[in-house]
C-alpha cells in the first residue's frame, strides 16, 4: 500500500514566492543582511548567493572576474544538517521554503511574518517606502508517498484516481517506475490577472526505495501587477491570493488522488 511521508499528511515542502517587476539592487541585499536580527529567530544563518565568472584573454590565459553577490539566503537547518526553513532573495524574486510542514495554520502565519518583514526592509532602501510590484505569485507543494509492499503487488490505483480525466489508465500494470507531467492555464477573475498556471508532476522511482514524488505548482501571472506591501507592512491582497492558491491546490490534488489517499492525508 501507499503511505504518506508524514502520519497524517504527505507534504514535505511548501514554497511561497513572488516575482517582481524590478531586480534587487546590491544595497538591498546589504540592507537585508544588516537587518537579519529581525527574522534571525526563525532563520539564524545567512549566506550570499555568489556567481562565478571566468573569461579567457587574447592569449588564452584565464582571467578571473569579480562578480558581486546576486542574492542572499537566510536559513535554518535540521539536526541532520538538511534545510528546515529558507528565505532567498535573488535577481527579482523572493522565495520562502518550509521543509518542516505540519499544517497550513502553522506555516502560513510564519511565511507571512518573514516575507512581510524582509520585504519591508528592501522596500525602505533609499529613504522612502518604494512600492514593490509583483508580476507573479507562486505557491508550490511537494508531497512524497512510499510504497510498502513488494514490486509484484504494486498498484498505482491505490494512490491515483485512474478512472478520472487526469490520470491515464495505461499506468496500471506498468510497473513502479513512471512519470506523469501535466499543466494547463485557467482564467483568474480577480486582480486583473492574466492566467493561473497549474503544473503538476509525478515521478515514481524504485531506488533507493519505491516511492512517488508529487510536485504541484500554481503560478498566478498578473498582467497589471500587484502592490505587495500595505502601509502597515502587511502583505495585503497577496494574503488573499495565497489563501486562494492553497484552496486551489487542494482541489487539484483531489482530481488526481484516489479517494482512499484523499481520506488518508485529510484532504476531505
Tell me: cis bond preceding 61? Omega within 30 of 0 counts: no
DSSP symbol at 153: G
Tell me how far apart the alpha carbons of residues 108 and 3 are, in angstroms, rounded to a whole number. 25
Check: CB of residue 32 under 8 Å from CB of residue 119: no
Handedness of CA 156, 158, 162, 167 (dihedral sign): negative
Instruction: Give, for all 268 residues of the chain, the pLDDT tens digit.
Output: 999 988 778 999 999 999 999 999 999 999 999 999 999 999 999 999 866 555 665 666 666 665 566 899 999 999 999 999 999 999 999 999 999 999 999 999 999 999 999 999 999 997 656 789 999 999 999 999 999 998 889 999 999 999 999 999 999 988 999 999 999 999 887 656 679 999 999 999 998 889 999 999 999 999 889 999 988 889 989 999 999 999 999 999 999 999 999 999 988 6
What 3 state SS string does 73-113 have? EEEEECCCCCEEEEEEEECCEEEEEECCCCCHHHHHHHHHH
Tell me how far apart the alpha carbons of residues 88 and 43 are, in angstroms, rounded to a whole number. 11
Check: CB of residue 53 under 8 Å from CB of residue 180: no
- In a 3-state reduction of DSSP, which class is residue 248? helix
Tell me how far apart the alpha carbons of residues 119 and 20 are, in angstroms, rounded to a whole number. 11
DSSP symbol at 40: T
Task: List C-alpha distances in Å: 236 to 54, 217, 226, 228.
Answer: 43, 22, 10, 6
In this predicted structure, what is the pLDDT of residue 65? Answer: 61
In this predicted structure, what is the pLDDT of residue 58? Answer: 62
In this predicted structure, what is the pLDDT of residue 52? Answer: 54
Structure pTM? 0.91
Tell me how far apart the alpha carbons of residues 238 and 133 are, in angstroms, rounded to a whole number. 11
Amino acid at each position: 500500500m501507499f503511505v504518506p511521508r508524514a502520519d497524517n499528511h504527505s507534504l514535505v515542502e511548501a514554497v511561497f514566492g513572488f516575482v517582481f517587476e524590478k531586480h534587487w539592487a546590491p544595497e538591498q541585499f546589504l540592507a537585508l543582511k544588516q537587518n537579519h536580527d529581525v527574522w534571525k529567530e526563525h532563520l539564524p544563518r545567512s549566506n550570499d548567493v555568489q556567481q562565478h565568472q571566468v573569461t579567457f584573454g587574447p592569449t588564452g590565459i584565464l582571467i578571473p572576474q569579480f562578480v558581486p553577490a546576486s542574492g542572499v539566503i537566510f536559513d535554518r537547518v535540521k539536526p541532520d544538517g538538511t534545510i528546515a526553513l529558507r528565505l532567498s532573495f535573488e535577481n527579482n524574486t523572493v522565495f520562502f521554503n518550509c521543509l518542516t510542514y505540519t499544517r497550513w495554520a502553522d506555516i502560513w502565519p510564519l511565511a507571512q511574518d518573514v516575507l512581510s518583514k524582509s520585504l519591508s526592509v528592501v522596500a525602505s532602501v533609499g529613504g522612502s517606502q518604494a512600492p514593490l510590484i509583483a508580476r507573479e505569485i507562486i505557491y508550490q507543494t511537494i508531497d512524497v508517498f512510499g510504497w510498502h509492499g513488494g514490486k509484484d503487488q504494486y498498484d498505482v490505483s491505490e494512490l491515483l484516481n485512474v478512472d478520472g480525466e487526469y490520470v491515464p489508465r495505461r499506468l496500471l500494470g506498468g510497473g513502479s517506475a513512471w512519470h506523469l507531467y501535466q499543466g494547463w492555464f485557467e482564467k483568474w477573475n480577480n486582480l486583473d490577472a492574466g492566467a493561473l498556471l497549474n503544473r503538476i508532476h509525478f515521478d515514481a522511482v524504485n531506488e533507493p526505495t519505491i516511492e512517488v514524488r508529487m510536485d504541484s505548482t500554481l503560478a498566478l501571472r498578473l498582467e497589471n501587477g500587484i502592490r505587495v506591501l500595505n502601509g502597515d507592512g502587511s502583505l495585503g491582497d497577496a494574503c488573499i491570493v495565497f489563501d486562494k492558491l492553497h484552496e486551489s491546490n487542494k482541489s487539484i490534488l483531489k482530481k488526481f488522488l484516489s479517494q482512499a489517499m484523499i481520506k488518508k492525508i485529510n484532504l476531505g
